A = this chain, B = another copy of it.
Amino acid sequence: MRMAGWGGFFVSLLNYKTEKYVIAENKKIGILFRLYQLAVLGYIIGWVFVVRKGYQEREEAIQTSVITKLKGVTLTNSSETGLHLWSAEDYVIPPNGEQVFFVVTNYIETPNQRLGFCAESFKVPNGRCQSDDDCVVGETVIAGHGIKTGLCLNSTGTCQIRAWCPVEHSQRPTEPLLSAAENFTIYIKNFIRFPKFEFSKSNVLETSDDSYLKRCSYDRENHLYCPIFRLGDLVSWTGYDFQGMAAKGGSVGIVIEWNCDLDKDSTQCNPQYSFTRLDLKLNKSVTSGYNFRYARYYKDQNDVTFRTLYKVYGIRFDIMVNGQAGKFNIVPTIIAIGSGVALLGAGAFACDMILLYMMNTSSFYRERKFEIINFKYV
């Protein structure tokens, strides 16, 4: 092949160059290599393509919007503060239908607190005292309710403080006051979008039957697109007892998972709900339970402010949406195939090593496989 300048070069470009092979009639190595090829092919087709869907581009950054609404009313009757009627505007905090919300199931009410002087609660270690020296004027009681005035009250064994008086003192009721919350219902509307694939869906049935969403109830089999749950069911699906959790409070995660294969029909892309308790009860440590305080402020006829303090125990629901979608794309397909093909080459290299160095016919094989070009004699 002598090239007559550029013309010849271009003609030679059109020749098909291919590796020259030697065939080693060695059945052991031959079978070994074919098995390896089958294994690689099996891996590429079986694992990468069928199980892991390696031909798909994946989108994990899901866009999501959640709206919640609770229904139910209950009456509580506490010996100290009388009757209370709790409806959704009271027991859902915040009331505006957020993704993370809290349902009151138990509470301690401390009515008619006014700014003044009173004894710190004995439950606060830093507030206890033996003499006035333990109550430094102006110091804040650590984890307490107010500012020390310098007096130690003998009657209670605690410092006098400037605080909202009287301070909260009641014991948490062992039975949840709002035990009827078990029958409240929650409606969770979730809208998702995979921006990369411009695909969006909602977890609510798109029906023309107005009353369906008023009477249905979630059921994995038959009513997957009716996102209405009984609170008691939600909690029991986490493996805990509602009444038990209602007394001290707790935290429940509702995970909505959307795993969508967008190469299939969109009806195959369905939400999957799972429920977990997020405040783990390990060794009765302080990490379990959930409560916080809020106050309602009033003014009396003389324009003096007073307040009612509520310490509420309850269940915090945290709706977490995650998901991923996959759709055929040429780039990951080629990366998956290409790296598999490259692996075939690695197998041939290994077989060559065996033939060249580890068999008694090696030197014979070497002489046939390699052709020496000795540039010294050119």
> Is A373 close to B, CB under 8 A?
yes
> Is A222 close to B, CB under 8 A?
no
State the oligomeric state as a number of copies.
3
Report B-chain residues with C-beta under 8 Å of the C-beta of A73: 140-141, 144-147, 163
Q: Which of B19, B320, B334, B364 contacts A375 (CB 8 A)?
A: B364
Least Cβ–Cβ distance between A10 and chain B, in angstroms: 11
- List CB contacts (< 8 Å) of A260-318 with chain B: 276, 278-280, 282-287, 290, 292-299, 301, 303, 309, 316, 318
In angstroms, Cα B330 to Cα A336, docked, is: 12
In angstroms, Cα B71 to Cα A341, docked, is: 62
Interface centre among A61, A73, A214, A282 (most CB of B within 10 A): A73
Contact A146 B21, beta carbon cutoff 8 Å? no
- List CB contacts (< 8 Å) of A46-105 with chain B: 47-48, 52, 54, 60-61, 63-65, 67, 69, 71-75, 83, 85, 87-90, 93-100, 102
> Is A372 close to B, CB under 8 A?
yes
> Is A170 close to B, CB under 8 A?
no
Specify the chain B residue showing the minimal Cβ separation from A343: B338
Contact B98 A18, beta carbon cutoff 8 Å? no
Least Cβ–Cβ distance between A55 and chain B, in angstroms: 12
Contact B299 A298, beta carbon cutoff 8 Å? yes
Q: Which of B34, B141, B287, B372 contacts A13 (CB 8 A)?
A: B34
Contact A345 B341, beta carbon cutoff 8 Å? yes
Interface centre among A14, A60, A140 (most CB of B within 10 A): A14
Report B-chain residues with C-beta under 8 Å of the C-beta of A87: 145, 164, 293
Interface with B: A152-160, A238-246, A249-257, which one? A249-257
Contact B285 A206, beta carbon cutoff 8 Å? yes
Contact A251 B285, beta carbon cutoff 8 Å? no
Least Cβ–Cβ distance between A56 and chain B, in angstroms: 12
Contact B69 A292, beta carbon cutoff 8 Å? yes
Per-residue CB proximity of A10-48 to B under 8 Å, as 1/0? 001111111111111111011111100000000100011
Q: When A278-B65, A378-B364 are in contact, do A283 and B25 touch as well, CB less than 8 Å?
A: no
In angstroms, Cα B334 to Cα A280, docked, is: 39
Least Cβ–Cβ distance between A40 and chain B, in angstroms: 9
> Is A151 close to B, CB under 8 A?
no
Contact B19 A19, beta carbon cutoff 8 Å? yes
Report B-chain residues with C-beta under 8 Å of the C-beta of A341: 338, 342-343, 345-346
Report B-chain residues with C-beta under 8 Å of the C-beta of A290: 67, 97
Contact B18 A52, beta carbon cutoff 8 Å? no
Contact B43 A16, beta carbon cutoff 8 Å? no
Can you offer 11 A-B residue contacts whose CB atoms are under 8 A? Answer: A13-B34, A14-B34, A20-B20, A61-B324, A65-B320, A87-B145, A94-B96, A112-B303, A191-B279, A195-B257, A338-B338
Return the 4 tightest CB-CB contacts between A and B, nearest first: A338-B339, A338-B342, A342-B342, A14-B30
